[in-house]
Amino acid sequence: MRQACLALAVLSVCLPVLADEGMWTFDNFPRDSVKSRYGVDIDQPWLDRVRLATVRLEGGCTGSLVSPQGLVLTNHHCVTDCLSRMSTPARDVQAAGFLARTRAEEQRCAAEQASVLVALEDVTAQVIAAVGDGAGPQANRARKAVLTRLEADCEERHRDAGTRQSCEAVTLYGGGQYFIYRYQRYDDVRLVFAPETDIAFFGGDIDNFQFPRWNLDFSLLRLYTGDAPAATPGHLRWRRAGAAAGEPVFVAGHPGSTERLKTVAELRFERNQQLARWLLRAAELRGRYLEFAARGAESARIVQEPLFGLENAFKVRRNQMQVLLDEDFLREREREEQALRGTLAGNARLRPAAGAFDEIGQALATWHTIFDRHLYFERGVALQGELAGYARVLVRAVGEREKPNEQRQREYTDAALPLLEQQVLAPAPVYAELETLRLAFSLEKMVEALGVDDPMVRLALGRVAPRTYAARLVRETKLGDPAFRARLWQGTRAMLEQSGDPLVALALRLEPEALRLRQRHDDEVEAPLAAASERLARARFAVQGKAGYPDATFTLRLSYGAVQGWREAEREITPFTTLEGLYARASGQPPFRLPPRWLRAQDRVNLETRFDFVASTDITGGNSGSPVLDAGGRLVGLIFDGNIHSIGGDYRFDPALNRSVAVHPAVMMLALSDVYGAEPLLREMVIE
């Protein structure tokens, strides 16, 4: 293996054994490397225990089970959607925080589901057999069909398991491996506790991705089955003192996506087409949100949750853009690629894979020609907002359900529909002014990108100005009513057509072109990209074995590292903050304003209590809410962020600079006991 790595020393996938790099699958954790580096042996029972105590929150986060009664620890920022749905002008739960004093007070997060990975099966051979060697649309359709069938078979086999089992196909290494992951699924997730946003997100967007930091970014949920706390397959013990500086730690979670194995052509495409456009749209929308918020307290409350999401994503992508503008980085990657091409060309068996680079370039060139139209009409950038989102999903779902399961788009298979249905039907407040803002914005961007003379733009708008039209649609649609959505969800295409709803009518009008663009993208972009990426992945395996880890896919991974600061320019950043620093930083003005109960607590809490800390573990978005574990598998922290350098981690892990940011168990314990009076919750947990 070392030999293989030397031969391909230019490939960054050979580095992780030296650095704390990698988001490893549980079936391929580098046990030996970790043992030699940290003296810790992560054995199979450890892996199984941790896997069964880690949950995926389908809204896009991770959590961990921390009591035998289904209590889940996650971030505050992972429950803002739930808090936002619960809030009203009279009762702003985001501002005030939430604590259920009894089980009866625990509030359902209507759109949320939670999943525990109970089994994983390698199905690469079956996929290869079904797809064959083709690279065209036919092979692409066959690949999706077999994945859908394997999911359905798996669910069928486990239909009588007692709890609901959900099966998902997982593509790893860009197609080097295929798995079926089986989850125990919980669709009744209730909010138990969340602190005030002022302390959970202390420092706001300004401090986001920064360290030192003082965010009490945690919350507690509870999984229910049949109106009773769920019996889950496992849970974690807490280690109140946390881990010491330098101590090895592990992060289990569901990192969303990374691009470390992408080709340079794909990275340039991402930079020039995707990021460049997205950033400009997001910056403008941010300005609109901020000015909307400035109208008054109620406007500010309404827009808070989408604004947080937008600013967070904006900071991520702005920094990603800076990495991809760094010519030195791209040229180094080009040299690596040249070396790999050389290795492949020099090996008769692998030679055909070298052609994958050119095929990727051609597929991207095709994508370029349809990029904007595909983005606006098929990916829905022309129709933004909650209401417009319902319209698009309802129209698509009704159309897809008319087809056999294996021929459907993968987002609408039988395995995928239950979550989608719950999300569409979950009650949610509708804010007409904000909906108008978002819909007007997206229609205006469509006009800007495609021109007022584009036939589809004309079909969407007629000759009406976008803002006028958006206001009318929001005023007249009935999609804000969950019962209306439920009727359409269960309905037929004819029912949609006869609904008389103007937003549904707009989505129906655009649907044929959206589907046409989808088909072109599937056949002329996705098909060759998937085939090329598969070939490259298998060629890499052939050269070096499975020494590397796959890019993140919002599936369960384990990272390792140590509690450790870093050197920033001339300054040494130490790994822990304490409560004392929080009070020193509080200015009384947002976003540095403390909730009253924290101001009152100042004199009676131990100011040396550890608050947040950093570790060298390799994480990304989706790891929010991940447990940080010690060698004994005990909970010693709660991931909520990365430092600013971690954003570049989407393309390259820099062991000197890349750090995860976590909440320390000591401050969570202190908060629950001394500030929020939540002793009953503490009594549920096992604390050491």
Q: Which residues contact its own copies by CB under 8 A?
A: 203, 205-207, 210, 268, 271-272, 276, 279-281, 283-292, 294-295, 318, 321-322, 325-327, 437, 447-448, 451-452, 463-465, 467-468, 587-590, 592
CA distance 642 to 566: 13
DSSP SS3 for 292: helix
End-to-end CA distance of the chain: 41
The token pair at 351 is 């030679």
- Give 266's Cβ-side CA count (13 Å radius): 21
- Smallest gap from Cβ 678 to its own copies, in A, equals 31
DSSP 297: H
- Residue 251 one-letter amino acid: V
- Smallest gap from Cβ 305 to its own copies, in A, equals 18
- Smallest gap from Cβ 287 to its own copies, in A, equals 3
- Give 173's Cβ-side CA count (13 Å radius): 22
| In contact, 106 and 191? CB cutoff 8 Å | yes
- 51 or 445: CB nearest its own copies: 445
- 228 or 465: CB nearest its own copies: 465
- Smallest gap from Cβ 384 to its own copies, in A, equals 14
Residues in contact with 79: Cβ distance below 8 Å, sequence separation at least 6, in sequence order: 109, 191, 194, 219, 221
Give the distance, in angstroms, between the CA of residue 408 and the centroid of all CA atoms in the same chain. Answer: 24
CA distance 580 to 478: 51
- Smallest gap from Cβ 15 to its own copies, in A, equals 26
- Smallest gap from Cβ 677 to its own copies, in A, equals 31
DSSP 237: P
CA distance 175 to 357: 15
- Smallest gap from Cβ 630 to its own copies, in A, equals 32
- 108 or 467: CB nearest its own copies: 467
CA distance 271 to 464: 34
Tell me how long the chain is.
688
Neighbours of 44 (CB within 10 A): 10
- Smallest gap from Cβ 284 to its own copies, in A, equals 4
CA distance 680 to 667: 17
Burial level of 334, CB count in 10 A (0-12/13-18/19+)? middle
CA distance 195 to 191: 12
Q: Which residues pair with 108 in a beta bridge?
A: 190
| In contact, 675 and 669? CB cutoff 8 Å | no
| In contact, 241 and 666? CB cutoff 8 Å | yes
- 171 or 384: CB nearest its own copies: 384
Q: Which residues pair with 566 in a beta bridge?
A: 573
- 171 or 442: CB nearest its own copies: 442
- Smallest gap from Cβ 319 to its own copies, in A, equals 11
- Smallest gap from Cβ 475 to its own copies, in A, equals 15
Please state whether beta strands 107-108 and 188-194 pair in parallel, antiparallel, or not at all (unpaired). Answer: antiparallel
CA distance 139 to 135: 6
- Smallest gap from Cβ 683 to its own copies, in A, equals 39
- 284 or 421: CB nearest its own copies: 284
- 109 or 310: CB nearest its own copies: 310
- 471 or 556: CB nearest its own copies: 471
- Smallest gap from Cβ 294 to its own copies, in A, equals 7
CA distance 488 to 409: 19
Q: Give me Rg for the CA atoms of the chain.
A: 25
- Smallest gap from Cβ 587 to its own copies, in A, equals 4
- Residue 157 one-letter amino acid: R
Neighbours of 436 (CB within 10 A): 21
The token pair at 244 is 């010491």
- 135 or 437: CB nearest its own copies: 437
- 240 or 288: CB nearest its own copies: 288
CA distance 627 to 253: 7
- Smallest gap from Cβ 250 to its own copies, in A, equals 31
| In contact, 193 and 100? CB cutoff 8 Å | yes
The token pair at 599 is 């101001």
Burial level of 152, CB count in 10 A (0-12/13-18/19+)? middle
Give the distance, in angstroms, between the CA of residue 176 and the centroid of all CA atoms in the same chain. Answer: 22
CA distance 688 to 680: 17
- Smallest gap from Cβ 364 to its own copies, in A, equals 13
- 121 or 205: CB nearest its own copies: 205
- 330 or 495: CB nearest its own copies: 330
- 60 or 591: CB nearest its own copies: 591
- 297 or 464: CB nearest its own copies: 464
- Give 309's Cβ-side CA count (13 Å radius): 11
- Smallest gap from Cβ 383 to its own copies, in A, equals 19
- 73 or 300: CB nearest its own copies: 300
- 101 or 295: CB nearest its own copies: 295
**Ordered DSSP codes for 138-163:** HHHHHHHHHHHHHHHHHHHHTTTSSS
- 149 or 281: CB nearest its own copies: 281
- Smallest gap from Cβ 448 to its own copies, in A, equals 7
The token pair at 161 is 């398991």
